Structure 1
Amino acid sequence: MAHAIWKGAISFGLVHIPVELFSAVTDNALDLTMLDKRDFSPIGFRRYNKASGKEVKWEEIVKGYEYKPDEYVVLSDEDLKQANVQATQTIDIQSFVDASEVPLTYYEQPYFLVPDRGGDKVYALLRETLRKADKVAIAEVVIRTKQHLCALLTIDDAIVLNTLRYSDEIRDTGELKLPAKSAKTAGISDKEITMAMSLVDGMTEKWNPAQYHDTYREDVLALVKKKVKARQTKTITMPDTETEEKPRSAQVYDLVGLLQQSLGKKPTPKTAAKSSTKTANDKAVKPVSIGKKAAASSTAANKSKAKPAAKTSKAAPAKTRATVPKQRRSA
């Protein structure tokens, strides 16, 4: 059963709503243990006294603020609470805004708010008010030792508290090298926009989060199972430079042709000619070595050129070596 990580109340004007805070997400990241490469023993970390070098138990550890080099003020959990009791126990709503006004880059971590004893009715009142007003509540709350700006919004029957980043934590996009704002200045034609919109329309569907899952994690776990079955648990796979995929060129030569292909249309002859010409100019042709048997066949073929062929046979597709994804070691 989930455990509340914070207890307090939502302050809504003169109304107080007793609530508990629960994490809204679960971490499904691969839990990899660091090992010593020499004998594959797990590596451990210990808390120790830097003066004596001796290990310190959890119950002997306290927190301190370094107010000058090597001088600390000890702060207990009670000290941190008494510094501002109301801030540590209250989700203080400051204002209400349209959800569309809060950029996605500000959202940080979601939590579920659950009504505590006696808070069901006022909890439901705030939930329905937010829903009908189509607003989010902007509030402040102290969780552990940090004050957070947060947004309260409704999802299904729950009020979600989503911590927000402060404005000074968001980098200015002016520092980035981005294309020009207008389509014309960026070199985008109306035809390209129209075709891109058609592609978007064709790929539009209802949001169904259940259809997406972490396929990379599944592939890694399948690899683990394969290595266990093959008794290769202590085998370290090194990078294979021969099969390493080369990065694609960042330059796009024929955007219209690519859009047409994406829409299931064949490129026009003019477009295809441009693409093949540029591709041919970009890729150097590798010399092919011919063996004795192949050379003899080539000579015989040259002698028979004088005789007209009854039927023109289609050239067999060239065989290409499949690219094997590079195996990487995880730390």
Structure 2
Amino acid sequence: MHTMWKGSISFGLVNIPIKLHAATEDKNVKFRSLHNECHTPIKYEKVCPTCEKEIGTKDIVKGYEVTKGKFVVVEEDELSGLKEAVEEKAVEIIDFIKLDEIDPIYFNRSYYMSPDGGNKAYGLLRKALTESEKVGLAKIMIRSKEQLAVIRVYQDTLLMETIHFPDEVRKAADVPNVPSEDNVTKKEIDTAIMLIDQLTTTFDPEKYKDEYRTKVLELIEAKRTGKDLVTVKEKEPAAQMTDLMAALQASIDRTKPKTKRPAKAKKPAAKTSAAGEKK
């Protein structure tokens, strides 16, 4: 399992070196965007619309938009300094609470925690959390973002779940068109509760499948086995001139400056004598 973060978690004077591993993975079917004409994967470039040219990573800086079209530029070394100051205290368990005190809307991502040495301390925290029926609340820095996190026991393994800060959760009161009163009859309520009771069961995650993803994969497999494949159209090689002299002459002709044809000189007008005769 890939290690995505390495550090330590501490509570009181107990320090536990740990590694983080993503506990979940995105199983979406990923498609590439192809050019319909030649089936070549589309290339997305970073282009400055003002300079009208492609730019590289070294030409990019971070900017925070304070008003429309006006930015504050923040350098990477400035952010690094702030990050180092926070990281020193980012992995300390600051509180212990009951898990059911946290509404599920706060939960974000889950990570397994494996001991990186210090197996005894790892086991101590696991046992203490299990018997106290509490979870630890900690702060941790992951991918340049400070996270609030819950540390709990899941199937005999310490699990860390990042949770949103309160200002990251939008207010339910801002949701439009929510009725303020339930205009339903008692009979309707009783019928709805009866239906809920009939459908109530024990949660078994294995019985639930992503049916759409399964059908998409079946479609892809059917096309693959049926040889319904497209191939990237290769670029045609530039025509090669086999005659060396012809190649040289073509190069000369292509680079030869175009010259204007000289204008024809006008003949001087014939002089006439006083008698009117041309000389």
Relative to the length of structure 1, the TM-score reads 0.59
Match of residue 314 from structure 1: none
Once residues 87 and 190 of structure 2 are traced to their aligned partners in structure 1, the CA distance between those partners, rounded to angstroms, is 57
Spell out, residue by residue over 1:66-111, the C-alpha distance to the aligned partner (whole angstroms, 9 max, x if none).
4885855242996565344414xx5221111211111111000000
Match of residue 110 from structure 1: 110
Once residues 219 and 46 of structure 1 are traced to their aligned partners in structure 2, the CA distance between those partners, rounded to angstroms, is 33
Once residues 152 and 48 of structure 1 are traced to their aligned partners in structure 2, the CA distance between those partners, rounded to angstroms, is 43
User: Does the Cα contact within 8 Å between 1:94 and 1:137 map onto a contact in 2?
Assistant: yes
Match of residue 184 from structure 2: 188
What displacement does 1:148 show?
A: 0.4
Spell out, residue by residue over 1:135-161, the C-alpha distance to the aligned partner (whole angstroms, 9 max, x if none).
221111011211001111111111111
Once residues 28 and 139 of structure 1 are traced to their aligned partners in structure 2, the CA distance between those partners, rounded to angstroms, is 29
1:29/1:174 CA distance change after superposition, 3 Å: same
Once residues 167 and 54 of structure 1 are traced to their aligned partners in structure 2, the CA distance between those partners, rounded to angstroms, is 40
Spell out, residue by residue over 1:235-263, the C-alpha distance to the aligned partner (whole angstroms, 9 max, x if none).
xxxxxxxxxxxxxxxxxxxxxxxxxxxxx
Once residues 148 and 195 of structure 2 are traced to their aligned partners in structure 1, the CA distance between those partners, rounded to angstroms, is 39
The answer on 1:205 being equivalent to 2:204 is no
Q: Number of paired residues?
A: 223
1:138/1:74 CA distance change after superposition, 3 Å: closer
Once residues 199 and 63 of structure 1 are traced to their aligned partners in structure 2, the CA distance between those partners, rounded to angstroms, is 57
Give the structure with higher Rg (CA): 2
Q: Secondary structure, in 3 states, of the residue corresponding to 1:75?
A: helix
Match of residue 168 from structure 2: 169
Spell out, residue by residue over 1:149-179, the C-alpha distance to the aligned partner (whole angstroms, 9 max, x if none).
1111111111111111111111111112223
Match of residue 216 from structure 2: 220
Q: Secondary structure, in 3 states, of the residue corresponding to 2:92?
A: strand
Spell out, residue by residue over 1:157-204, the C-alpha distance to the aligned partner (whole angstroms, 9 max, x if none).
111111111111111111122233xxxx41223332222222222222
Spell out, residue by residue over 1:257-286, the C-alpha distance to the aligned partner (whole angstroms, 9 max, x if none).
xxxxxxxxxxxxxxxxxxxxxxxxxxxxxx
Structure 1 segments of 4+ aligned residues over 3 angstroms from their partners: 46-56, 60-72, 76-85, 225-234
Once residues 71 and 153 of structure 1 are traced to their aligned partners in structure 2, the CA distance between those partners, rounded to angstroms, is 40
Matches within 5 A, 1:42-191: 42-46=41-45, 53=53, 56=56, 61=58, 64-66=61-63, 69=71, 73-75=75-77, 79=81, 82-87=84-89, 90-117=90-117, 119-176=118-175, 177-180=177-180, 185-191=181-187
Once residues 111 and 156 of structure 1 are traced to their aligned partners in structure 2, the CA distance between those partners, rounded to angstroms, is 13
Match of residue 16 from structure 2: 17
Once residues 62 and 133 of structure 1 are traced to their aligned partners in structure 2, the CA distance between those partners, rounded to angstroms, is 53
Q: Secondary structure, in 3 states, of the residue corresponding to 1:186?
A: coil
Relative to the length of structure 2, the TM-score reads 0.69
Structure 1: 5+ residue stretches without partners: 235-331
Q: Which amino acid aligns with 2:218?
A: A
* Higher RCO (C-alpha under 8 Å, 6+ residues apart): 2
What displacement does 1:228 show?
A: 4.7
User: Does the Cα contact within 8 Å between 1:47 and 1:55 map onto a contact in 2?
Assistant: yes
Q: Which amino acid aligns with 2:130?
A: R
1:94/1:233 CA distance change after superposition, 3 Å: same
Once residues 167 and 61 of structure 2 are traced to their aligned partners in structure 1, the CA distance between those partners, rounded to angstroms, is 26
Once residues 62 and 127 of structure 1 are traced to their aligned partners in structure 2, the CA distance between those partners, rounded to angstroms, is 47
Spell out, residue by residue over 1:288-316, the C-alpha distance to the aligned partner (whole angstroms, 9 max, x if none).
xxxxxxxxxxxxxxxxxxxxxxxxxxxxx
Q: Secondary structure, in 3 states, of the residue corresponding to 1:150?
A: strand
Aligned-pair identity in percent equals 30
Once residues 188 and 168 of structure 1 are traced to their aligned partners in structure 2, the CA distance between those partners, rounded to angstroms, is 34
Q: Which amino acid aligns with 1:115?
A: P
